[in-house]
Amino acid sequence: KYEKLWLLFGIGALLVFTITIGVSAFYMGNQPPSCLVTVDPSKVETTEPFDQPGLRQVGEKEYEVIVVASSFNFNVGPEKVIRIPVGSTVNFIGTTKDVVHGFEVAGTNANMMLEPGYINTVETTFKKPGKYTIVCNEYCGLGHHLMFATLEVV
Ligand code: CUA
């Protein structure tokens, strides 16, 4: 008699376990932790703020850079070079129109993944003047190595 009870208990525990895993995978797996906002990849160009990529000043020495990644390009405004004064804090806000791309400002802590459907952000302060190269650090196809832009801190 007891064996049957234990078997039932075992199956029950397994069921609860499976459901818990399934539910948490659904909520967490589908949503990378730092990507809180979603955007329709096919409508990126007409969705704010991605309809106007590039640099915008939001405060004293505070900037935002709207980044639209696509194979194989970073759209960071009309030019491939962003210029900011030394000591500026920049919040990079990015998404991708197609596949997963990486976004890294080489030599800084600014590093994020751009995933289709999601908006990701990373903030960093540029204390040293110089030329920083923005690269894609996530293999995205044949033109992966062509994906770059430049940030000039003056
Ligand atoms: Cu985009 Cu690698």
pLDDT of residue 34: 52
12-26: burial string, b at 16+ Cβ within 10 Å, e else: eeeeeeeeeeeeeee
Distance 101 CA to ligand 1 centre (A): 5
Q: pLDDT per position in the chain (154 positions), as tens?
A: 778 888 888 888 888 878 777 776 666 554 444 556 788 999 999 999 999 999 999 999 999 999 999 999 999 999 999 999 999 999 999 999 999 999 999 999 999 999 999 999 999 999 999 999 999 999 999 999 999 999 999 9
pLDDT of residue 31: 47
pLDDT of residue 1: 72
Q: Which domain holds residue 66?
A: 37-153
Q: Are residues 109 and 46 in the same domain?
A: yes
Domain of 142, CATH number, reads 2.60.40.420
Take atom 1 of ligand 1 and give the residue whose Cα is closest.
101
Q: Are residues 100 and 72 in the same domain?
A: yes
pLDDT of residue 48: 92
ipTM of this complex > 0.85?
Answer: yes
Q: Are residues 13 and 45 in the same domain?
A: no
pLDDT of residue 36: 62
Phi, psi (rounded to 5 degrees) for 6: -65, -40
Q: Are residues 108 and 89 in the same domain?
A: yes
Transcribe 103-130 into DSSP letters: EEETTSS-EEEE-TTEEEEEEEEE-S-E
Distance 12 CA to ligand 1 centre (A): 46
Assess whether the C-beta atom of 82 lies below 6 angstroms from ligand 1: no
Domain count across the chain = 2
pLDDT of residue 18: 81
